[in-house]
Amino acid sequence: MKHFKVFAKRMFKYRVRLVLALGLAVFSALGLGIGLLSLGPALSLIVDPEAGQSLFELATLFNADGHIVQIPHWLLSQLPQDRFDGVIFILIGIGCLTVVGGFANFMHQYLSAWIAVHVVAGVRDEAFGHVLKMDLGRVLRSGASEFVSRIIRDTEALQAGLTVLMGKSVAQFSKGFVAFLVACYFDYRLVIIALLVLPILAITLHQIGKKVRKGTKKSLAAQQELLRISNEAVQGLRAVKVNTAEQFVKKSFSEVNQQVVRANMKVRTARALGSPLMEILAIAVLGTLAGIAAKSIIEGTLQFDMFLLSIGSLAVAGGALRPLAGLVTEIQASDAPAERLLHILHLPTEEESNEPIARHSDSIVFENITYSYSEDAPPVLNNFSVSIPHGQRVAIVGPNGCGKTTLVSLLPRLLTPQSGVVRIDGTDIASVDLSSLREQLGVVTQDTVLFRGTIESNIRFGKEASREEVMNVAKQAHADNFIKSIDGQYDAEVYEHGTSLSGGQRQRLAIARALLRNPSILIFDEATSQIDSESESLINDMLGTFCEGRTVLLIAHRLSTVQSADRILVLDQGELIGDGTHDELLSSCDLYRRLAETQLVTASHEG
């Protein structure tokens, strides 16, 4: 329960509502206790035809006994003299008390739910914000589904536990405790016997709780895997269909789905044991008490009416406390999602600094960079060093897996090298404010990411801009023509992942998005791979003008794009083996010559 307690303590953030909710629960429970007490000696004396007294006489005798709490004279004068009228008065009073207690109980439940919902909303925001600040490599290693599952599903499970803790548990416990005190008032000897069952109850609940926590943890892990499989299958439905992999995917889903079923059934079985065990214990206690009381009544040492009132109060207490077994297991079940959420919140984030970096105007230097995606894997970049002057247009080429994308991912600090330093204008980027660094970068990748929304909102993504500015960069990216041919134009809805647009259209929007940022450094990672050669030529002409005074890093498979660069870097197995112009490298670098002949394509060779 230690993990759950961490989040339960956050309820104290809403102290006023918390205190008010607890106060209303106690008030509702006191109403029950007063009702039980008033049904005791008062009704017994009033209804008794021989020794019965009126409510007025009972109140007068009560004041005469010198109790600390006295009935006010104005109230005493209003009490009925007739015994039957006294009965009606008490019943009406109990009815009013029940209505007020019911309203107090409703407000307690409402405030409890409000607190639980807002605490979990805060946890959800914190977890989501934490993941956004995490190192990209760590997120990629675990997979998006793990974090999405914990942020959405685990917070729901946590909310259920917090709601039970503040809502039903407090209400049931307070009512049961007050009824228990009333039972003690009537006959403490019977209550002492009832207390003997508490150790058995505690041990039982502890054992059930352990099984519930273990089962819940397995269930959440299986649901996380189920989410991963379903996300991959639905998002990659095109690949599933063309590879006729429907049965394979369905089999994988069904296997994990059965794991979820088995884990859930273990949890449900453990929870289901709680209620019957409590009933068995309650029957055993009441049976024992009835036997002891019967012997005492026969011997004349216990009054029958006191026995009934004591047993009745214990029954009310038992009825109120009985659901606690199930409620306690629900709270214990919330410890598993709480542990998983704390694991996310304790993962390291990107190192932050408050030191802003000035707009790039001098050079970019990669100094002795070594990077590996895992401890066991060979380095993708190995002691890599290069210096790029401001305003230079640099193409980066090499065989697949040579470290091209890894290299450009170091600039926005999406990845952090194990050793070495990346400097912009002589400043180590690891020591600067991330926002100020990334604000001067424009990045376009081969896998264009678009979000559900309008075309305009996708171009403006992360940047405040007017419609005129959006249209201007769309024209520069040669996206304006196709946008105006779509119904709705800039207000047209883009489907999730941009599936309503072609690959080339998505890349043009991504280029427009990068241009809108007015970056000092542009990074194109196969940014025009899905654009026809004619459009690419127009975009290259535009970039020739736009990129003046900006540093550009290009990863491309088209020879025309590579040739347009001021400088070409050739990478192989994470090392720089060639550096120069196209003509220089053709004569000095064997690998570049082979790439130019086999992998770098010209417009005439494209589909």
Task: Tell me if the domain spanning 2-345 has CATH number 3.30.230.10.
Answer: no
Confidence band, pLDDT 50/70/90 cuts, at residue 603: very low
Rounded to an integer, what distance in angstroms lies between the CA atom of residue 18 and that of residue 543?
Answer: 60
Query: pLDDT tens across 212-223, in order?
Result: 667 777 777 777
Query: In DSSP terms, which residues pair with 442 in a beta bridge?
Result: 522
Question: For residues 318 and 282, what is the distance between their CA atoms, to the nearest angstrom?
Answer: 7
Enumerate the CATH 1.20.1560.10 domain ranges in the chain, comma separated.
2-345
The per-residue pLDDT for 599 is 60
d(CA 94, CA 88): 10
Sign of the C-alpha dihedral, residues 331, 336, 339, 341?
negative
Top pLDDT among 521 and 249 is at 521
Q: For the domain covering 391-415+430-605, report its CATH number.
A: 3.40.50.300
Q: How far apart are CA 298 and CA 310, in angstroms?
A: 17
Q: How far apart are CA 243 and CA 249, in angstroms?
A: 11
The segment(s) of the chain belonging to CATH 3.40.50.300 are: 391-415+430-605
104 SS3 class: helix
Poorest-pLDDT segment among 128-137, 262-271, 486-495: 262-271
Query: Residue 284 and residue 207: Cα distance in Å, rounded?
Result: 20
Residue 419's region, left for phi above 0, alpha for psi from -120 to 50, else beta, is beta
User: In this predicted model, what pLDDT tens digit does every residue of 198-209 receive, in sequence order?
Assistant: 676 667 666 766
- Which has the higher per-residue pLDDT, 118 or 79? 118
- DSSP string of 123-175, one letter each residue: HHHHHHHHHHTB-HHHHHHH-HHHHHHIIIIIHHHHHHHHHHIIIIIHHHHHH
Residue the block writes with tokens 């503040």: 166
- 41 band by pLDDT with thresholds 50, 70 and 90: low
Say what the pLDDT of residue 368 is. 92
- Which residues does 375 contact at the CB level (< 8 Å), separation at least 6? none
Q: How confident is the model at residue 600 (pLDDT cuts 50, 70, 90)?
A: low
Q: How far apart are the first and last CA of the chain?
A: 62
Q: What is the pLDDT of residue 230?
A: 72
Predicted confidence (pLDDT) per residue in 115-139, tens digit: 888 888 888 888 888 888 887 777 7
Name the residue with higher pLDDT: 6 or 231.
Answer: 6
Residue 376 has pLDDT above 50, yes or no: yes
Q: Is the pLDDT of residue 365 over 90?
A: yes
Instruction: Say yes or no to pLDDT of 78 above 50.
Output: yes
Note the pLDDT tens digit of each residue in 273-332: 666 766 676 667 667 766 766 777 677 666 666 666 666 766 676 666 666 666 677 777
Alpha-carbon distance of 267 to 333, in angstroms, equals 8
Q: What is the mean pLDDT of residues 552-564?
A: 80
Confidence of residue 416 (pLDDT cuts 50, 70, 90): confident
**Range ranked top by mean pLDDT from 17-21, 167-171, 291-295:** 17-21
Task: Give the residue-averaged pLDDT of 38-59.
Answer: 59
C-alpha–C-alpha distance, residues 424 and 355, integer Å? 14
Q: How much is the mean pLDDT over the chain?
A: 77
What percent of the chain has pLDDT above 90? 3
